[in-house]
């Protein structure tokens, strides 16, 4: 599908707004849109959001034989993909000019700046080295792809862990993650791209242009820098003449921005590591609601079984006798029967008793570590309940049911006649008019 053209009036408006130091989304000249970094459940998977632009990064590794002229160096491979999902104008499977330009810029930014120690990726010189592959997918396009992609690439690389390898004589052993903890890549520094858009032959400058600003800009300057203020790549495109002062000023701004972004990335990485260590929900799992039965699938958690017997006996001794449950079949209509705790739903009761579950019940929940307990408790609730009802009193639900709140309003406004709906009104210059539908 063709790209939506930019109308003359949009172009004129944007340029006039830039002259007045105003931007469409209310940002200042040097402001970035809000950046959000979230991680997947796997190592080396992340999503970076820069305003509405979203990039998914995924790192993978493989043992390959090295290049002939670099026998002791691992191989780095970057690939950015612009799918149609991001914008309808992107064609799948075609190397557009934009894509080639972005890919080369990324390679220059990340490979040529030697931010990753490729020598440490060597397993057996001349025979086996690690090939690290960074796949970046643009999920939504709202301008400034290169900044989002460079952040996603470096975050994914920092987050990635490769399997541990040991070499004894001629024998190479690859350890599974269960045997030995995977090792992170050694990263010297984090180069991050910062884009500057120039308008009116370099008169005006904007940081982090969005899609519409990118369309009216005259030139683009991309500076890749790390937090030590070392320039890794610099590229000017669009054919404008930049003065020395302008480039210097841009590099100063880039230094500030890179410091901020690096801090944000490190904070995000630390957070993720902390949550992973504690065994709580991390990555995308955070955003999966516990609403569906399929969402309850969980991996086996290690259970501390050192003093199970004593503990169980202690619990049994302390606990009150279990409540009387009469498992009587209830006959609803001829031919159907229900067996269970009774007619009423007893979930609320179960949920309540969960808090004192440690000293009561004597079930297997009591010996699980704290953080896993909640989840398993909910799982067992579902198991004990024969009706396939979704959990109704979990906390997540309150956040999810946002739509019904909106609905009443919608109903109000949408009970309108289709006739009038199809007659757009113009106020106040053009008067409202009604049009009859021609059947």
Q: Which residues pair with 167 in a beta bridge?
A: 172
User: CB-wise, 336 or 439, nearer to another protein?
Assistant: 439
DSSP 60-94: EEEEEPPPTT-TT--EEEEEEEE-TTT-TTSPTT-
H-helix or E-strand spanning residue 219: strand 219-225
Give the interface size with another protein as a residue count (CB under 8 A): 51
Q: Which of 319, 292, 298 is nearest to 373 (CA)?
A: 298
> Per CB under 8 A, which region of 36-44, 260-268, 328-336, 419-427 contacts another protein?
419-427
Q: What does each C-alpha distance from 322 to 223, 236, 258, 385 come to in angstroms?
A: 69, 75, 61, 18
Shortest gap between Cβ of 73 and another protein (angstroms)? 47
The tokens describing 318, both together, are 């302390």
Whole-angstrom Cα distance, residue 194 to residue 185? 24
CB 29 within 8 A of CB 206: yes
H-helix or E-strand spanning residue 315: helix 308-318
User: CB-wise, 7 or 287, nearer to another protein?
Assistant: 7
Q: Is 420 in the site for another protein (CB under 8 A)?
A: yes
The tokens describing 217, both together, are 């800009």
User: CB-wise, 333 or 439, nearer to another protein?
Assistant: 439
What is the distance, to the nearest Å, from the Cα of residue 137 to the centroid of all Cα atoms in its chain?
A: 12
Q: Which of residues 18-57 bind another protein (CB under 8 A)?
A: 20, 22, 24-26
Shortest gap between Cβ of 292 and another protein (angstroms)? 11
Q: Which residues pair with 250 in a beta bridge?
A: none
User: CB-wise, 24 or 98, nearer to another protein?
Assistant: 24
Shortest gap between Cβ of 19 and another protein (angstroms)? 9
CB 159 within 8 A of CB 269: yes
Q: Is 292 in the site for another protein (CB under 8 A)?
A: no
Shortest gap between Cβ of 405 and another protein (angstroms)? 7
User: CB-wise, 252 or 410, nearer to another protein?
Assistant: 410
Place of tokens 């024969």: 386
For the chain, how many residues are written?
Answer: 439
Shortest gap between Cβ of 215 and another protein (angstroms)? 12
Q: Which residues pair with 131 in a beta bridge?
A: 62, 75
Shortest gap between Cβ of 56 and another protein (angstroms)? 21
CB-count burial class (<10 Å; 0-12, 13-18, 19+) for 94: exposed
Q: Is 216 in the site for another protein (CB under 8 A)?
A: no
User: CB-wise, 216 or 231, nearer to another protein?
Assistant: 216
> Per CB under 8 A, which region of 5-13, 65-73, 329-337, 371-379 contacts another protein?
5-13
Q: Is 407 in the site for another protein (CB under 8 A)?
A: yes
CB-count burial class (<10 Å; 0-12, 13-18, 19+) for 331: exposed
Name, in order, each residue with C-beta under 8 angstroms of 244's C-beta and a sequence gap of 6 or more: none
User: CB-wise, 294 or 306, nearer to another protein?
Assistant: 294
Q: Is 409 in the site for another protein (CB under 8 A)?
A: yes
CB 65 within 8 A of CB 122: no
Shortest gap between Cβ of 108 and another protein (angstroms)? 35
User: CB-wise, 326 or 438, nearer to another protein?
Assistant: 438
Q: Which of residues 68-127 bind another protein (CB under 8 A)?
A: none
Peptide bond into 347 cis (omega under 30): no
Binder among 171, 310, 344, 405 for another protein (CB under 8 A)? 405
Q: Which of residues 365-404 bind another protein (CB under 8 A)?
A: 401, 403-404
User: CB-wise, 83 or 363, nearer to another protein?
Assistant: 83
What is the distance, to the nearest Å, from the Cα of residue 55 to the centroid of all Cα atoms in its chain?
A: 8
Shortest gap between Cβ of 83 and another protein (angstroms)? 17
Shortest gap between Cβ of 8 and another protein (angstroms)? 4
Shortest gap between Cβ of 85 and another protein (angstroms)? 13
User: CB-wise, 25 or 352, nearer to another protein?
Assistant: 25
Binder among 36, 67, 229, 435 for another protein (CB under 8 A)? 435
CA angle 399, 403, 408 (to 5 degrees): 130
Q: Binding residues for another protein, per CB under 8 A?
A: 1-2, 4-13, 16-17, 20, 22, 24-26, 401, 403-407, 409-411, 413-418, 420-431, 433, 435, 437-439
């Amino acid at each position: 599908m063709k790209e939506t053209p930019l109308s003359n009036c949009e172009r004129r408006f944007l340029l006039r707004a830039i002259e007045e130091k105003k931007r469409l989304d209310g940002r200042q000249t040097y402001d970035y849109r809000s950046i959000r970094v979230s991680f997947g459940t796997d190592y080396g998977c992340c999503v970076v959001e820069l305003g509405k632009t979203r990039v998914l990064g995924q790192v993978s590794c493989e043992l390959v034989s090295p290049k002939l002229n670099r026998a002791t160096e691992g191989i780095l491979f970057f690939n950015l993909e612009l799918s149609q999902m991001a914008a309808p104008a992107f064609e799948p499977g075609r190397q557009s000019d934009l894509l080639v330009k972005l890919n080369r810029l990324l390679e220059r930014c990340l490979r040529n700046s030697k931010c990753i120690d490729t020598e440490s990726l060597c397993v057996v010189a001349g025979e086996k080295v690690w090939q690290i592959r960074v796949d970046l997918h643009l999920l939504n396009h709202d301008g400034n792809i290169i900044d989002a992609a460079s952040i996603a690439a470096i975050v994914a690389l920092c987050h990635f862990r490769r399997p541990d390898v040991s070499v004894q004589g001629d024998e190479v052993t690859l350890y599974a993650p269960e045997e030995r903890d995977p090792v992170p890549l050694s990263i010297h520094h984090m180069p991050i791209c910062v884009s500057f858009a120039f308008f009116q032959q370099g008169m005006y400058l904007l940081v982090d242009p969005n899609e519409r600003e990118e369309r009216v800009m005259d030139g683009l300057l991309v500076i890749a820098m790390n937090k030590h203020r070392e320039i890794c790549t610099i590229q000017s495109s669009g054919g404008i003449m930049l003065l020395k002062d302008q480039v210097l000023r841009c590099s100063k701004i880039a230094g500030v921005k890179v410091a901020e972004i690096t801090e944000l990335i490190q904070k995000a990485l630390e957070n993720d590591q902390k949550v992973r260590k504690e065994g709580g929900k991390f990555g995308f799992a955070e955003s999966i609601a516990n609403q569906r039965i399929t969402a309850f699938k969980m991996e086996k958690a290690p259970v501390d079984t050192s003093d199970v017997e004593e503990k169980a006996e202690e619990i049994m001794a302390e606990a009150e006798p279990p409540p009387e449950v009469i498992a009587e079949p209830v006959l609803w209509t001829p031919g159907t029967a229900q067996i269970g705790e009774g007619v009423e739903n007893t979930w609320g009761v179960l949920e309540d008793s969960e808090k004192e579950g440690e000293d009561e019940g004597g079930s297997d929940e009591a010996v699980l570590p704290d953080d896993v307990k909640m989840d398993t408790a909910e799982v067992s609730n579902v198991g004990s309940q024969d009706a396939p009802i979704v959990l109704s009193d979990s906390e997540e639900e309150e956040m999810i049911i946002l739509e019904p709140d909106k609905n009443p309003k919608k109903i109000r406004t949408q009970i309108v006649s289709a006739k009038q709906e199809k007659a757009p009104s113009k106020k106040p210059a053009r008067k409202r008019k009604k049009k009859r539908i021609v059947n």
